[in-house]
A and B are shown apart, each in its own frame.
Chain A
Amino acid sequence: MSDPQKSRFLARQSRLEALRMVSASKSSHIGSSLSVIDILAVLYGGVANIDPSTVESDGRDFVIVSKGHAAAGTYAVLAVRGFFPTERLRDYCSDGQPLSGHVTAGQVPGIEFSTGSLGHGLGLGVGVALADQSMGRTRRVFVIMSDGECDEGSVWEAALIAAHYQLEQLTAIIDRNYMQALGPTEDVLGLEPLRQKWESFGWAAFDVDGHDHVALEEALRRPTLARPTLVIAHTTKGHGVTFMENQIEWHYRAPNDEDLLRALLEIEDHDA
């Protein structure tokens, strides 16, 4: 059972952790984590049938973080949710430690696949869903992608396959923050009209506010009959920290001590 108040608290705490992690490790991609944290919090907060006690069970829902560079945000949500101790977050990007700079499977409970190169996650999810369909398993598979990721042809190959096989247990979520590595998505390689593209591929596609937990939960709660579902979650890169919002430099830059303090204060002051 999901609860927007709980998932909002989860998101808030995860933002604080992610900021600390990226700052401490002097690493990149904080903007990408901040835009996707609400989606992750809603999923791991109850919509996805997986929790710390069911992380190994055969029937668990799969959450595949295809935008693997949102590693800090992903690890933060998992830790705050209780999949592993939050103390481990201090080892983010540390030598010999598995919490590396792109989402890494193997020693991180809750992570199903290592990602980091865009365009793989939807295909992975399609494979899981196809096998499930053949075996009569009805668990859900969620794939979180970035909008820039939709430049990759492999995404559209997977989209064709998913629709053809009517993979209704497959739900993809696009973190639509309208930014990619060298500029706004619509300046680099226009994706609009994005929803219509997915609909024409045979998906049930919906636009939602990607920072509204009630709207996200509503959109993600139920799969569509006989079609895979695509949720375009409209977000802001760097959401939650005013000086990071929609700023491309925060795809790359690690917050220094001063940035970190300002950012943490903003998150803490903001109503959950």
Chain B
Amino acid sequence: MRDTFVSELTRLGLADPAITLVTGDLGFNVLDEFRDALPRQFYNLGVAEQAMASACAGMAAVGCKVFMYSIVNFATFRCLEQIRNDIAYHSLDVCVVAIGAGTSYGSLGYTHHGLEDVAVMRSLPNFRVFTPADSVEVRAAIQEIYAGRGPVYLRLGHEPTTPIHRSPVATQNHLLQVREGSDIVLMAAGPAVETALGAAAIADQHGISVRVISCLQLAPMSTLELIAVADELPIVTLEDHSVVGGLGTVVLETLSEASALRPVRRLGYRRDGLLTYGSQAFLRDSQGLTAEGTAAALLAMLKADDRQPFT
């Protein structure tokens, strides 16, 4: 997905000199296409995220459309106050591009895992949050980001092994149905969408019809769009993120606003659960965030009394 992002940005940047890519000394071999084609629109400001974020705000204030690139925690938490006060508060055209969503960086450990970033970034004023699931969605997101104004958080993970979309997606929809179903809705974001489709296939073998939604734009979430894709069906959410404050929480908030609450189960990393080390697959498995684990949750959801607490 990073490569698609860079290619798209280069394409836009060749036509628009305002497009500016700023990195905090990350992106080895990844950003070369942009850097080589557009050297005057590319900056590596070093391992200095706070100054980088303020500088991105300064650039945007004088007409640049800035894309600030780093690994998830460095792009957000390291410079969060700058993002908040300089970018969000001034509503500037800066897109914070975070790579390594969720546990993409696996055995590189907790410092490189993005588990709380969505919760925080979506709470900042004026921010839109995009969590594309594959390169097709990345292209749609970038189109929408470029066409719009204001701050954006673009969260990128690994490309799925099987493509999720076979043709370009329309950008006006933010919650994309990627699998039809009628018994239950499984809403997933970014790297979790592939797992969600796997879970739906397993559930299908057990006679459960699962509708899978890819949340291309996670925040702000439109109440109307959510009701349209979810009808009155129970919902399970799946994200490569903590269960606190991410997609699951957004869905609950939005349903509540619409007075449309119904059984919802949030799947994601338990806040105090990440006490083991290993690859993304291993970490997901340790918390049941696999296709099998998700399928089990879907089945349990449909069998359970909805007043029972989930274990």
Instruction: Give A residues with C-beta under 8 Å from B.
Output: 105, 112-117, 119-132, 134, 153-154, 157-158, 160-161, 164
**Which single residue of chain A is at the shortest CB-CB distance from B89?**
A114
Chain A residues closer than 8 Å to B180, beta-carbon distance: none
In the complex, are the beta carbons of A131 and B86 less than 8 A apart? no
Q: How far is the CA of A253 from the CA of B277 in the complex (A)?
A: 53
12 more CB-based (< 8 A) A-B contacts, given A112-B61, A120-B86: A105-B90, A113-B61, A114-B89, A115-B85, A120-B85, A123-B51, A123-B57, A124-B61, A128-B58, A157-B51, A160-B46, A161-B48
Can you list 11 pairs linking A and B with CB atoms under 8 Å apart? Answer: A112-B61, A113-B86, A114-B90, A115-B85, A122-B54, A124-B55, A126-B58, A127-B55, A134-B41, A158-B54, A158-B55
In the complex, are the beta carbons of B56 and A127 less than 8 A apart? yes
Residues A130 and B90 in contact in the complex (CB < 8 Å), given A123-B51, A153-B50, A161-B46? no
Interface centre among B55, B59, B82 (most CB of A within 10 A): B55
For residue B263, CB closer than 8 A to chain A, the reply is no
For residue B53, CB closer than 8 A to chain A, the reply is yes
Chain B window 48-87, contacts with chain A (Cβ cutoff 8 Å), 1 for yes, 0 for no: 1011111111111111100000000000000001100110
Question: Smallest Cβ distance from B189 to chain A, in angstroms?
Answer: 31
Question: Smallest Cβ distance from A139 to chain B, in angstroms?
Answer: 10
In the complex, are the beta carbons of B55 and A132 less than 8 A apart? no
Question: Smallest Cβ distance from B204 to chain A, in angstroms?
Answer: 51
**Which single residue of chain A is at the shortest CB-CB distance from B63?**
A131
Chain A residues closer than 8 Å to B56, beta-carbon distance: 127
For residue B40, CB closer than 8 A to chain A, the reply is yes
Chain A residues closer than 8 Å to B43, beta-carbon distance: 130
Instruction: Give B residues with C-beta under 8 Å from A.
Output: 20, 40-41, 43, 45-46, 48, 50-64, 81-82, 85-86, 89-90
In the complex, are the beta carbons of A130 and B55 less than 8 A apart? yes
Q: How far is the CA of A30 from the CA of B81 in the complex (A)?
A: 26
Residues A131 and B58 in contact in the complex (CB < 8 Å), given A114-B90, A120-B82? yes
**Which single residue of chain B is at the shortest CB-CB distance from A114?**
B89
**Which single residue of chain A is at the shortest CB-CB distance from B53?**
A123
In the complex, are the beta carbons of A127 and B50 less than 8 A apart? no
Residues A127 and B82 in contact in the complex (CB < 8 Å), given A157-B48, A160-B48, A161-B45? no
In the complex, are the beta carbons of A126 and B55 less than 8 A apart? yes
Q: How far is the CA of A126 from the CA of B86 in the complex (A)?
A: 13
**Which single residue of chain B is at the shortest CB-CB distance from A104?**
B89
In the complex, are the beta carbons of A123 and B50 less than 8 A apart? yes
Chain A residues closer than 8 Å to B54, beta-carbon distance: 120-124, 126-127, 154, 158
Q: How far is the CA of A34 from the CA of B72 in the complex (A)?
A: 42
**Which single residue of chain B is at the shortest CB-CB distance from A128?**
B58
Question: Smallest Cβ distance from B209 to chain A, in angstroms?
Answer: 51
**Which single residue of chain A is at the shortest CB-CB distance from B79?**
A154
**Which single residue of chain A is at the shortest CB-CB distance from B55?**
A127
Q: How far is the CA of A166 from the CA of B81 in the complex (A)?
A: 27
Q: How far is the CA of A245 from the CA of B60 in the complex (A)?
A: 40
**Which single residue of chain B is at the shortest CB-CB distance from A68?**
B85
Q: How far is the CA of A129 from the CA of B51 in the complex (A)?
A: 13
In the complex, are the beta carbons of B59 and A127 less than 8 A apart? yes
Question: Smallest Cβ distance from A114 to chain B, in angstroms?
Answer: 6
In the complex, are the beta carbons of B82 and A131 less than 8 A apart? no
In the complex, are the beta carbons of A117 and B46 less than 8 A apart? no
Q: How far is the CA of A61 from the CA of B265 in the complex (A)?
A: 55
Residues A123 and B85 in contact in the complex (CB < 8 Å), given A128-B62, A134-B41? no
Partner of B51, one of A114, A116, A132, A158: A158
In the complex, are the beta carbons of B82 and A125 less than 8 A apart? no
Partner of B64, one of A122, A131, A154, A164: A131
